[in-house]
Amino acid sequence: MDYLSIEEGRKADGLRLVLVAGTPGAWGECIKAVYKVKGISYKAVAQLMEKTVDDLWQWTGQTSAPVAAYNDERIRVTWENMLWQAEQLEPEPKLIPANVHDRVLMFGMLRELAGECGFAWDRRLHSIAMSGGPEANPVLSYLAEKYGYSESEVEASYLRTADLLALFSERLEQQHKAGSRYYIGDSLTALDLYATVLFAIMIKPLPHEDIPMPEGMRWGFSQSHPCLETASPVLFEHRDYIFDKYLTLPLDF
């Protein structure tokens, strides 16, 4: 994938997406899946962790990726406002349910997956812990400090992950019984895409040919832990179904 620098991306127009270049960034790959399904094109802009922190800070007032910038509109920095922006830029196919009950359910589950102290956040803490903690290397130390690593948070996050995987498994099993392959109703929503991408990267990662990853990242997400035992096979069947039907492997970043 070709990337603009932060400076070039800031000056460009149209839709620009700042991504952690060279790794499958969890949130970045999720919004890329949304763009893929909707056929939204964008210019990729490279965030290179500590190296571009100052430039990204000056442009967006924060230092994480992804960031979506469309012309001179306000900058979108969270998964939630990037998802709404995508739905507004390209309404079809709809990925946010129109029915309020489905929408509340979808956003509740999505928040637990992608929000603060949600699944992806917690798996980052697990991976830091399993790789030897913040002192193991400077990247882990940077991420630990930035994203609230502490022993008590790691302990709490194991419980949250076990609960989330049980809830998502249960939901898919109920949906199967009702004749649906999807988490909500009987069609694809953003939740299917986020769950597929995040589970593919952050639990039992797909093989290197499908998702190339730096060795340390793969190691951190491949370790077994009791909190992962509540994930039933249905989660991974769903992941494979959504990749086959809607997305492309290998991931390109």
Ligand X SMILES: N[C@@H](CCC(=O)N[C@@H](CS)C(=O)NCC(=O)O)C(=O)O
**Contact set with ligand X (CB under 6 A):** 20, 25-28, 49, 63-66, 77-79, 146
Q: Which is nearer to ligand X, 28 or 134 (CB)?
A: 28
Nearer to ligand X, 138 or 245 (CB): 138
Cβ burial 61-84 (10 Å sphere, 16+ → b, else e): eebbbbbbbbeeeebbbbbeebbe
Which lies closer to ligand X via its Cβ, residue 21 or residue 247? 21
Name the minimum Å distance from CB 79 to ligand X: 4
Q: Which is nearer to ligand X, 105 or 114 (CB)?
A: 114
* Nearest distance, CB of residue 249 and ligand X, angstroms: 19
- Are 19 and 3 in contact by the 8 Å Cβ rule? The answer is yes
> What are the residues whose beta carbons fall under 8 Å from the beta carbon of 6, sequence distance 6 or more?
18, 45, 46, 47, 52, 55, 56, 59
State the residue number with the nearest CB to ligand X: 25
In the complex, what is the shortest distance from the CB of residue 84 to ligand X, in angstroms, rounded to a whole number?
A: 12
Q: Sign (positive/negative) of CA torsion 121, 126, 131, 133?
A: positive
Cα–chain center distance at 132: 23
Beta strand pairing call for 15-20 and 43-47: parallel
Q: Which is nearer to ligand X, 52 or 189 (CB)?
A: 52
Whole-number Å distance between alpha carbons of 87 and 81: 10
CB of 231 closer than 8 Å to CB of 163: no
The span from the CA of 247 to the CA of 253, in Å, is 14
User: Residue 64 Cβ, how far from ligand X at the closest point, in Å?
Assistant: 4
Residue 85 or 189 with smaller CB distance to ligand X:
85
Give the type of residue at 159.
L
Question: Which residue type, as a one-letter code, is found at position 253?
Answer: F
In angstroms, what is the minimal distance from the CB of 66 to ligand X? Answer: 6
Take residue 191 and report the two structure tokens written for it: 């939740």
Least distance (Å) from ligand X to the CB of residue 114? 6
What is the nearest approach in angstroms of ligand X to the Cβ of residue 78? 4
64: nearest Cα among 74, 72, 53: 53
Phi (first) and psi of residue 155, to 5 degrees: -60, -45
Using the minimum distance from each CB to ligand X, give the nearer residue, 78 or 141.
78
